[in-house]
Chains A and B, each alone.
Chain A
């Protein structure tokens, strides 16, 4: 007789515990990274780390600006390629494609999200880099360009499927209203559907950006990993993520701490991007 209420009370406490644990883990990681960063921040100085362009661990130079720029440039370039392609693809799937085709294409695109990034890196390394080397005439082809293309392909499915969902979520009434006023199908898409799903598409792009900034394995495999500011898009570079992955195994002392600072910068960058996405999502629901 009291068991129903008992179960209710217990399960409420239980899920509260789970929630707390998840939150504590996040706090723990943040504290851990911050603590690991402190020695480098104290010894080298926050300005020299954030704005220094030289990364020579053997000479105690720990400027991560080149890597920061590497991450940002590669991500922006990938977005420039991926956004028009994904939004176009989403419009095709939601509005133009016959149901038979979109029913096959949609799961196929969602499947792309699940492919491990090392596989993308492998394809980039074996197919893309030699091609770029051939085009540019120098080096191995490992470059900002190769990284941006691989990254664009990796975030394409994310942006496409979220954009498509938001296009489909626009009430049919809007579209029919536009058509009934003598708008062509494309005018209805351009002037009614796209504006009405703008926030969903922006959210999709921000989630894609978050994914791009955080991508590690595929980047390490195709970007060349030189810790210098790239002279052009066919030159090698290094991302923040790659900086940690490439060097952590051999790093000790202040070097290791500098890598923690790299992680801290990434952590903050991703938090900013995700909060931006969260804020836009929330505004949509109001």
Chain B
């Protein structure tokens, strides 16, 4: 079985401090993989390694491999911009640019050189529809993205990612700043999206992991303690630490 993404003995250091130790993990295509664990366990750091977002932070280094379709994204000849185009990211805090809704969604394609107005219109509409936002904003595409509600902003950020047509979408606690109703909408959206995309989500919310994901990885102190089918993890955890965490004994 070929994994969409795979890490092999992945280690990551902030200066001399080791944040991740030897993470080996395979991500199945067209499935949702949830990463859970207490704050500071390294799950967000791990997620950001999958599209080289940690390159931005100075004084860090890594060891091991991250493979996308079998190719190491940290290999010297690899173009980081190309990696990020194929592996999109949605952040914890909805972060639309201080631009119009249209400009937000068109941003990625424009950066990649698409300037044809008709084609951009089409991409914007398709992406907003796919992110289940089109009906709410179609008459106000010129309005600033900052004026939308939190849940709408997050769906706008998802639309923005979809416009680039990535293969994998990373979501870093995408619902932690949202109310329950908006959270539900995003979760529905994730289920729709997995037909075409591979999704990896970091979440603090274990019910969310149980609700949306096929696979769950439990992180603790920089280690991947247990990784299995979501049902197995929540019903028959093999590791005592996993069991303690999901039953709420700590964390």
Q: Which residues of A contact B (CB under 8 A)?
A: 98-99, 171, 173-184, 187, 191-192, 195-196
Contact = CB atoms under 8 A, between A and B. Distances in A.
Nearest to A182: B85
A182 B81 contact: yes
Classify chain B: how many residues form its interface, as a range: 20 to 34
Contact of B161 (A171, A173, A181, A184): A181
Nearest to B157: A177
Given A171-B95, A181-B84, A184-B81, A176 B53 contact: yes
Contacts of B111: 178, 181-184, 187, 191
Interface of B: 51, 53, 56, 58, 81-82, 84-85, 88-89, 91, 93, 95-99, 107-108, 110-112, 157, 160-161, 164
A184 B81 CA distance: 6
Nearest to B93: A173
Per CB-CB distance, the 7 closest pairs between chain A and chain B, nearest first, are A182-B85, A181-B108, A180-B89, A173-B95, A183-B111, A177-B95, A182-B84
Contacts of A179: 53, 56, 84
10 contacts: A174-B98, A175-B56, A176-B95, A179-B53, A180-B84, A180-B161, A181-B84, A181-B108, A181-B111, A182-B82
Contacts of B98: 174, 195-196
A184 B99 CA distance: 19
B81 A183 contact: yes
Nearest to B51: A180
A201 to B, nearest CB: 15
Contacts of A187: 111
A98 B59 CA distance: 10
A99 B58 contact: yes
Contacts of A181: 84-85, 88, 107-108, 111, 160-161, 164
A176 B112 contact: no
B246 to A, nearest CB: 30
B105 to A, nearest CB: 10
A181 B85 CA distance: 6
A173 to B, nearest CB: 4
Contacts of A99: 58
Contact of B88 (A98, A175, A178, A180): A180
A176 B91 contact: yes
Nearest to A190: B111
A88 to B, nearest CB: 21
Nearest to B52: A179
Contacts of B96: 177
Contacts of A175: 56
A207 B187 CA distance: 49
A191 B113 CA distance: 13
A181 B97 CA distance: 12
A50 B91 CA distance: 59
Given A182-B108, A182-B111, A192-B97, A173 B91 contact: yes
A195 B98 CA distance: 9
A22 B5 CA distance: 66
B53 A180 contact: yes
Contacts of B51: 180
